[in-house]
C-alpha cells in the first residue's frame, strides 16, 4: 500500500510542476480572466478537500491492516463505536461539507460562468460552429472571419454561439467554461481577458470525423489594435497587385473554390467553407491544423485530405502552376 501512495505522491509533484511550468495554451488552471480565475480557485479548494478525504479512507484501510490480528477498532471500541463513525463521517460530515461546497460553487461562483446578463457587455460577437471550423462574425460590422477571434483586452465580450450542423462546443479554457452550440438555439458565454495574449480553444463536443482538428485562437489585444484589426476585417478583399495574384484570383473564381468559399469584394460567395477574405492575416489554416505559410498552403490546396482526412474540401486536381497562382492570391488577402 505504501508503495502505491509513494507513486501517487510522485505523480502529484509531477502534476504541480507540469501545471506550473508547461505551455499555458489550453490550461484551465492558468486563467487569463476573472471568470476562469474563480473556476481555478474553486478547483484547488476542492482538490485539497478531496486529498484529505481520500487520505482518511486510505488511512483507515491501512490501520485496519495494521490492526488485523485484533478484533475491534484500532483505537478501541466495537460495533457501536464503528456504527457511530459510519453515521458521523458518512452522513453528517458530508452533509456539512457538501452544503458548503454547494453554496460556494453553485450560488456564488456560478454567477461568473453564467451567460452574461443582457446589457452588461460592451461588445458582442457571434460564432457559428461548422464541421470542422469556426465562423466568426461581429454584428454591427461587415467583419467575417474564421478560426481566429480577436477581442479587446479588459473588455466584457458576449459570445453568441450556435451551429450550422451538428452540436459543437465553444471552449477557450483560459478564459471561461465551455458552452455547447446546439442547432436551433443561441447560447451565450462571456469572454473577458484580463491580459493580452493568444489563447487556444478547441471544440469540446464530439462532432464527427475531424473533431480533433477543430481548434481556434482567441487573441486578446489592446483596444486600439483590436479596432484596427476589426476595421480591416470589415473591408472587402484587397485587389491583386501582381500578375500572379491576378491569375490566382481568376483560378479561384473559375474553379470550384468560389462554390464553397466567400471572398467579399469578389463574386465568390460560397457558404460551405470558411470566409477567406482576409485569410492571409491568420496565423494558421484549417482550424489550427497547419501553420499559415506558403509551403503549407500549397500542400493544403493540392490535397487537403492529407492533413485533415474527411474534411469537406476535396482535392481539386489542379496543376502546380494553378496552385502556385492561388497561393499567391490568397497570401495577398491580408
Partner 1 sequence: MAVDVRAPEHPRVQRLEQVWEERPGILGWLTTVDHKRIGLLYFFTTLAFFGAGGIEALLIRTQLAQPESKVLAPDTFNELFTTHGVTMIFLFVIPMTTGAFGNYLVPLMIGSRDMAFPRMNALSYWLFLGSGIFIYIGLFMGFGPNAGWFDYVPLALRHFNPGPNVDFYALGLILNGVSSTLAAINFIVTIFKLRAPGMSLNRMPLFCFAMLAVSLALIFALPALTIDLVFLELSRKVGFQFFIPGNGGDPLLWQHLFWLFAHPEVYIIVLPAFGIATSIIPTFAKRRMIAFPLVALAELLVAFIGFGVWAHHMFATGLPTITLVFFAAATLMVVIPSTIQVYAWTMTVSAGRPEFRAPLLFIGGFIVFFVMGGLSGIMFAAIPFDQATTDTYFVVAHFHFIIFGAAVFPILGGMYYWFPKVTGRLYHEGLAQLSFWLAFVGTALTFFPMHIVGLIGMPRRVYTYPHGLGWDSYNLIETIGSYILAAGLLLVAFNLIYSRFSGAPAGPDPFHGGTLEWTIPSPPPHYNFAVIPTVSSAYPNWDEPDRAVDAGKLERGELTYEAGHETPTSTVRDGVFDEVVDMPSESPWPVTLAFFAALALVMVLISHYAIAGIFLLLVLFSLAGWHWKEPQEA
Among 143, 191, 193, 202, the residue binding partner 1 under the rule CB under 8 A is 202
Restricted to residues 126-145, the positions that interact with partner 1 (CB under 8 A) are: 131
Among 124, 154, 187, 196, the residue binding partner 1 under the rule CB under 8 A is 187
| φ and ψ at residue 301, rounded to 5 degrees | -65, -40
Among 34, 37, 74, 196, the residue binding partner 1 under the rule CB under 8 A is 74
Element (H, E) at 197: strand 197-203
CB–CB of 196/153 below 8 Å? yes
CB–CB of 193/150 below 8 Å? no
CB–CB of 111/203 below 8 Å? no
- Decide if residue 228 touches partner 1 (CB under 8 A): no
C-alpha distances in Å from residue 183, one per residue of 165, 168, 186, 222: 7, 9, 8, 34
Restricted to residues 265-324, the positions that interact with partner 1 (CB under 8 A) are: 288, 309-310
With CA atoms as reference, report the closest residue to 35 among 126, 118, 110. 110
- Decide if residue 15 touches partner 1 (CB under 8 A): yes
CA 79 – CA 77 distance, rounded (Å)? 7
CB–CB of 26/170 below 8 Å? no
CA angle 207, 212, 213 (to 5 degrees): 100
| Span interacting with partner 1, options 103-111, 221-229, 296-304, 314-322, rule CB under 8 A | 103-111
| Span interacting with partner 1, options 101-109, 136-144, 236-244, 261-269, rule CB under 8 A | 101-109
CB of 198 to partner 1, least distance (A): 13
Those residues with Cβ within 8 angstroms of residue 224's Cβ, 6 or more apart along the chain or in another chain: none
CB of 275 to partner 1, least distance (A): 23
With CA atoms as reference, report the closest residue to 239 among 259, 205, 265. 265
| φ and ψ at residue 44, rounded to 5 degrees | -60, -40
| Span interacting with partner 1, options 119-127, 180-188, 256-264, 291-299, rule CB under 8 A | 180-188
Residue 53, all three cell numbers: 478525504
By beta-carbon proximity to partner 1, the closer residue of 113 and 262 is 113
By beta-carbon proximity to partner 1, the closer residue of 47 and 239 is 47
What would the x/- binding string for partner 1 be over residues 140 to 179, using CB under 8 A?
Answer: -------------------------xxx-x-x-x---xxx
- Decide if residue 112 touches partner 1 (CB under 8 A): yes
| φ and ψ at residue 195, rounded to 5 degrees | -150, 160
CA 189 – CA 217 distance, rounded (Å)? 16
Restricted to residues 31-70, the positions that interact with partner 1 (CB under 8 A) are: 36, 38-39, 42-43, 46-47, 50, 53-54, 57-58, 60-61, 63-65, 67-70
CB–CB of 141/278 below 8 Å? no
- Decide if residue 17 touches partner 1 (CB under 8 A): no
Among 106, 141, 283, 321, the residue binding partner 1 under the rule CB under 8 A is 106
Among 107, 224, 267, 317, the residue binding partner 1 under the rule CB under 8 A is 107
- Decide if residue 95 touches partner 1 (CB under 8 A): yes
By beta-carbon proximity to partner 1, the closer residue of 79 and 320 is 79
SS3 276: coil
By beta-carbon proximity to partner 1, the closer residue of 72 and 222 is 72
By beta-carbon proximity to partner 1, the closer residue of 95 and 256 is 95
How many chain residues are in contact with partner 1, going by CB under 8 A? 99
Amino acid at each position: 500500500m505504501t508503495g502505491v501512495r509513494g507513486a501517487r505522491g510522485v505523480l502529484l509533484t509531477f502534476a504541480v510542476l507540469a501545471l506550473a511550468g508547461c505551455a499555458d495554451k489550453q490550461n484551465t488552471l492558468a486563467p487569463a480572466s476573472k471568470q476562469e480565475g474563480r473556476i481555478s480557485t474553486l478547483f484547488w479548494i476542492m482538490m485539497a478537500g478531496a486529498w484529505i478525504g481520500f487520505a482518511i479512507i486510505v488511512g483507515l484501510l491501512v490501520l485496519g491492516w495494521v490492526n488485523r490480528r485484533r478484533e475491534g477498532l484500532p483505537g478501541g471500541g466495537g460495533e457501536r463505536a464503528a456504527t457511530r463513525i459510519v453515521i458521523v463521517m458518512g452522513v453528517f460530515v458530508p452533509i456539512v461539507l457538501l452544503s458548503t461546497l454547494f453554496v460556494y460553487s453553485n450560488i456564488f461562483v456560478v454567477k461568473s460562468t453564467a451567460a452574461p446578463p443582457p446589457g452588461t457587455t460592451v461588445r458582442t460577437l457571434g460564432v457559428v460552429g461548422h464541421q470542422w471550423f469556426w465562423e466568426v462574425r461581429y454584428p454591427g460590422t461587415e467583419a467575417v472571419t474564421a478560426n481566429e477571434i480577436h477581442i479587446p483586452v479588459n473588455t466584457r465580450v458576449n459570445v453568441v454561439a450556435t451551429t450550422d450542423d451538428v452540436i459543437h462546443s465553444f471552449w477557450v479554457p483560459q478564459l471561461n467554461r465551455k458552452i455547447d452550440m446546439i442547432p436551433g438555439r443561441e447560447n451565450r458565454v462571456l469572454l473577458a481577458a484580463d491580459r493580452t495574449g493568444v489563447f487556444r480553444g478547441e471544440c469540446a463536443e464530439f462532432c464527427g470525423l475531424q473533431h480533433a482538428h477543430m481548434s481556434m485562437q482567441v487573441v486578446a489585444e489592446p483596444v486600439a489594435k483590436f479596432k484596427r484589426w476589426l476595421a480591416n476585417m470589415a473591408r472587402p478583399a484587397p485587389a491583386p497587385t501582381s500578375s500572379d495574384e491576378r491569375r490566382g484570383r481568376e483560378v479561384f473564381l473559375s474553379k470550384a473554390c468560389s462554390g464553397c468559399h466567400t471572398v467579399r469584394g469578389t463574386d465568390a460567395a460560397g457558404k460551405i467553407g470558411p470566409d477567406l477574405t482576409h485569410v492571409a492575416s491568420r496565423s494558421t489554416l484549417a482550424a489550427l491544423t497547419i501553420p499559415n505559410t506558403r509551403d503549407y498552403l500549397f500542400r493544403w490546396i493540392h490535397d487537403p485530405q492529407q492533413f485533415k482526412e474527411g474534411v469537406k474540401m476535396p482535392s481539386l486536381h489542379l496543376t502546380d502552376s494553378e496552385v502556385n497562382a492561388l497561393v499567391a492570391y490568397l497570401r495577398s488577402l491580408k
